[in-house]
Structure 1
Amino acid sequence: MIEEKVKNGILARLDELEPSFDKYDEQIKQGFSEPAFFVRQIDGAQEQKLGQRFTRMLMFEIKFFPDPDSLTEQAACQNMASRLYESLVYVVQGGITYKGLRLRHEVIEDVLHFFVSFEVGMMAEKEPVPKMEKIELEEHL
């Protein structure tokens, strides 16, 4: 599934960015350790193009929870947003590069909410056409 590939690519980029931080992608469990990232897909759409081609649009939210013992949580969120802008321009997964689009962020109650979209070009599989069996031709003069 393309959504899982892109999400795994985002998680890999976050691991490169901050290997020591925990990363969650399903749900945030009670008592999780901070600082941490939480990644989830929040929106998706598909648009038909020419023939069998279509574009799938995927929007992800990356939440960053800074260290709660820090006195500069707001500054930590802004700093991480700046780093995410640089890191999520391109995400590579399985040898395929996905380009991050419409990157934006907001900080709400000392939690960074970072949004990034990806547009993935795809092609639908063609239905198999049955092959013609034998044909006999007769020629008369």
Structure 2
Amino acid sequence: MLNKIVDAIGFKLGQAFGDEFTIYSDTEEQGVTAPCFFIAVLSPSQQPVIGRRYFKKHPFDIHYYPQGPDKQREINDVADSLKEVLAYITTDGHLLAGTKMHHQVLDGILHFYVEYNLFVLKQMEPDETMGELTIHGTVKG
């Protein structure tokens, strides 16, 4: 599920910002080509709720590396756009809402934080059914 959410985020970024922006989801050793996005998975978690239901949290940090001469204005524009672009993503035909959106700028790089949380129902192995039962009896009366 996590990789599908990463793919859906990448798809939405590609739709919104076009081909001139490179989108990375794997760690780059050196030299990213700005302007670009990097999709970082933070710390996914899963908690049991009731029975077979679980609540899964998928937090992300979307990095944006600006290129223009006025980088702070570019970062501000992209941060505003990301709030709209990542409000909803679609994966496996399900619409997921982005929550807890906020951003900060560290060392000239935009860090846009968003979570995609959902409930899942785990499949259970069917119980083994009882074999045949034969009853012999008589009725008094």
**TM-score (ref. length: structure 2):** 0.93
Q: Deviations over 1:19-75 (max 9, x none)?
A: 2210100112422211000001111111211111011011001000011xx220111
Residue 40 of structure 1 is matched in structure 2 by 40
Question: What CA distance in whole angstroms lies between the structure 1 residues aligned with 2:92 and 2:79?
Answer: 26
SS for the counterpart of 1:120 is: strand
Q: How many residues matched? A: 138
Which runs of 5 or more structure 2 residues have no equivalent in the other structure? Answer: none
Percent identity reads 24
1:93-108 correspondence runs (5 A): 93-108=91-106
8 Å CA contact 1:28, 1:38 repeated in 2: no
Letter in 2 for 1:43: S
Residue 66 of structure 1 is matched in structure 2 by 66
How much does 1:15 deviate?
A: 0.5
**TM-score (ref. length: structure 1):** 0.93
Q: Quote the RMSD (CA, aligned, Å).
A: 1.1
How much does 1:94 deviate?
A: 2.3
Query: Which segments of structure 1 move beyond 6 Å, counting only runs of 4 or more?
Result: none
- Of residues 119, 124, 129, the one that matches 1:121 is 119
Which runs of 5 or more structure 1 residues have no equivalent in the other structure? Answer: none
